[in-house]
Structure 1
């Protein structure tokens, strides 16, 4: 089966999360991704968090379907290899600090002169322009500048992180969107590529919903609110009898009515003052108290069953064990086995989104460092003797 991105070649110069997350998605749908890594050390993510046989188990998900080539981009020979690869590539992804690629003679203008069809995805903390352009930026800083960190956590307490590198992955997703639009433009405009400029903070800011409009119109600075969503009622985490929390979202008008009837509060269900969200938002504490009074008398499982019967969106807060053993995850192929270099397996997330005719695939496991260096360089006409010399000099 031909995948939707089959035939596209992607050169990945990024490290860690944002750029490589974008290329992971492209690879899952058929793109040939050549990942360039520093000799000896490789992508730092290879040694992040829990390791198996010296390599992060995260790597099995993050680098699947890619080919690994070791190359020192600081060396003229390494830069020349990138030019050779770019001459026949469709997409190049990089997430260095702005100016680094230009310093190496690998900026968009340089590579576009070699290959006018090339699309260059550039992911950075603050973008390729603006007064903050040259500042170093990681996802955590993008989350802070984008407004997410300020809203995360409990009122009056320090801001907390989401728990994953959400700023990086949001940037990777925006990068994929930009690349797909650039491919469409290239198709329509005679094969001309372009730059896709993705900033970490902008990717986060793009998800911040009413934050700016409310400040602009009313001078309101939205504040952290813990598990609730101020102005959208009811939606919260409610303590149950067994000490666990039920997440209940009854904020649609008809859903709210069904929720109140399910917990035996027909008085609140029929109250005309609570028939729409404006009225409910003005009485949020009373409504939350009524729901809590019910959940505190029942187990989490019983509460969720009651909500499901009533057609009210509800769920529990899943941990890793919940996810690994959930039948819906399994039925949707969202839990897959990946093979590690020693032959053992590890569970990794499945592929998103689901396409009905050309679903994404895992065609090769995450590569060992430099596993495909000889294969790729030979394809560029660089013979074994030259490769041996470069290896001795630390270029590959």
Structure 2
């Protein structure tokens, strides 16, 4: 394994962790604040979330030799941030355990894996392109907020693609960090929190209204808005992921870590695309090492506790946006090309893409789920054979 390890694997893993944390860590903090957790409990949440993602990434990527990445449930965190006010933390933990049990049961029964096989490749690619579109776009909208930084990174990207394509993204990241360090763009080091995180166990309590009002919705949004896109992302990159095994592993991790603040783990989509695309490795058979590196970095971030998190937060937003967007350009382009390759299914793929990009939400369920539902319906309707003419 070490002989096949490349710098691009490490950089892809680091970028995936950077995107994973900076994209939603603020929402996690809001959820922690809503439940009234102490500082020690807050540090415990961040510790076990990092460890949970790291260990599950390592297990799945190494066993199945695929870049299978996991993540905390970002829409789940958003749900908790608005739902946990006045809910005792012990009852919140009880709701986390219910969600974890349902996630594990879903993996063991295998029904979700059977459902995922019904998704056409064109719709999978369209959905992935739609999910990643905003990240690609952010690399260019960041030009308005930090023109010089993004221009330097963009120039590094163009030079890298021409002269050293394998190390293009590492060069972009290095150029961005060097520019920020030279111009003093990083935030004040006074914001660093040097506290070491330790796991804090909270004995769960079970309240039927909280279980129904928080635990069940947490499971639904995690499945529809996270696990489904995660399966689709890997499928669009050419990997037949072990869906049931992945859900079982993430469900068990949630069960074990829920009392310490690990509210829900699931398959990742956006960060998985970073490690499953050609920027991570030209050889699809060794891209799993990018998943392994992601797991290792997640574990280091988790062990570092609040110190590492505060380092992420002082980085300029334009730096993160540009690195993520440029790293995903190839995956977005390949996904769009695959989505539109079948002329008969082009309209369904476009509808799937457009709905995903729109960001619409109904009943608390995000756009990727509705894009897939409507895309499948349109695809079935347009590809269904026309009824034979009635002879008189």
Structure with larger Rg: 1
Q: What TM-score do you get using the length of structure 2 for normalisation?
A: 0.23
Relative contact order, higher structure (CA 8 A, sep 6+): 2
Hey, which of these two has a bigger chunk of helix by percent? 2
Hey, which of these two has a bigger chunk of strand by percent? 1
